[in-house]
Amino acid sequence: MQTQRWILGVVLVVLATSALAQDGERGGRRRGGEGRPGGPGRGDMSLGMMVERLAERLELDAAQKTKFNEVVAQYTAKWDAQEPGRMRELMDEMRTARQNGDDARVAELQEEMRKLGEARRALMNQFYDAVKPILRPEQVQKLDELRQRGPGGRGPEGEGPRGLMRLIRELPEKLELTAEQKAQFEPLAAKYGRQMQGQREELRPLMQQLREARQAGDDAKAAELEEQIQAKRSAASEAFYAEVEAILTDTQKAKLADLRVEAGDTPRAGNALDIRQVVRAAQKAKLTSEQSEHVKQLARDAAKNARDKKIGPEAAAKQLVAAIKNLLKPEQVSEFDQALKEQAANPRGNRPPPGGRGERGQPPRQ
């Protein structure tokens, strides 16, 4: 059992690193520069690039941006001292050691990865705390929400390794797994972690093609590539969840479905509202306990129908909106409609497309 728990811990570090690396790939391996915190980047793991999205999400004013950049500059040296590219090097060394059957070296690398992951998390927490004094109260609240989602405020977005990483970390506790279930769950998580590493390399050519299509303004090609990337990711994650569901009770299966909706791990189409956003809008309509349970069940059904391809993601979200309105009182419908408009104004929420996102309406920045 201790060995399995240790394996799960390593999987989380590997997935976290893979998530950060894919964020860099989505952004086209951008470099820091004038007006960008952190200065010239050191590859896709520079602190400046990781916190750039955080600054955007906090909607800092001019004075705050100046102070924010000062904090970033202060922590960039500390971040660089941790060798931003070291985790990727360790992963490559780990792959070689495994191929060579060098168990002793594998153990050494695993321990170094664990320590490096802990050091990075501690440094990011220090950075967040240093940013708080320059924020207004509502921005502090937003920061507290974003810091739970990882560097840059992109969150687990249910999308990519970072979303799964968080779900893996939380599932045993939130599903209240028994000791026997945990013993079955941990090897599944470890196996999926290995699959995610392999998938990252498999997707690299498609990610590059997607960046090129967006830069060329070829929206049709970009949409086609994005669909291919999403399909490959979904196939792997659905296989993982199917294995997990096999060890769960019916009550736990329903809870897992709710967690996936909350994490945004639902099918979606372009910039259309997705199921998670519809549920979030409904929650702003002051639901009763009974209404809340109904909404959860409706969302589970909508997500399942979309995953099973019984209906398209956009149509599933629209049907969910109509079904929720049937549950609401007139005054709640007005609040729901207003919340939907707010969600539509930021159609992808915290989830950038697989190829990265530049300024609104523009291709990813280089």
**C-alpha closest to that of 186 among 260, 178, 108:** 178
- Long-range contacts of the stretch 76-79 (C-beta < 8 A, 24+): 76/37, 76/38, 76/39, 76/46, 76/47, 76/48, 78/123, 79/46, 79/47, 79/123
Task: State how far the Cα of 183 lies from the Cα of 186, in Å rounded to an integer.
Answer: 6
Computed from CA positions of residues 91, 92, 96, 97, in that sequence, does the dihedral angle turn out positive or negative? Answer: negative
Task: State how far the Cα of 365 lies from the Cα of 36, in Å rounded to an integer.
Answer: 12
Strand segments, DSSP code E, in 276-315 are none
Task: State how far the Cα of 171 lies from the Cα of 185, in Å rounded to an integer.
Answer: 9
Which DSSP string do the residues of 309-340 spell out, in sequence order?
Answer: TSS-HHHHHHHHHHHHHTTS-HHHHHHHHHHH
From residue 94, alpha-carbon distances to 90, 109, 114 in Å are: 6, 6, 13
- Note down pLDDT in tens along the chain; length 366 residues: 544 554 555 555 545 444 444 444 444 433 333 333 333 333 334 676 667 777 877 888 889 999 999 998 888 888 777 766 777 788 788 888 888 888 888 888 888 888 887 887 788 888 888 999 999 888 887 787 666 544 433 333 334 445 566 777 788 999 999 999 999 998 988 888 888 778 888 888 888 888 777 766 676 777 788 878 878 878 888 888 899 999 999 999 999 988 888 877 777 766 677 888 899 899 888 899 899 999 999 999 998 888 887 888 888 889 999 999 999 999 999 999 998 888 777 644 444 444 444 433 344 433
CB 22 within 8 A of CB 126: no
Task: State how far the Cα of 180 lies from the Cα of 82, in Å rounded to an integer.
Answer: 38
In the prediction, which pLDDT does 245 show?
93
pTM here? 0.51
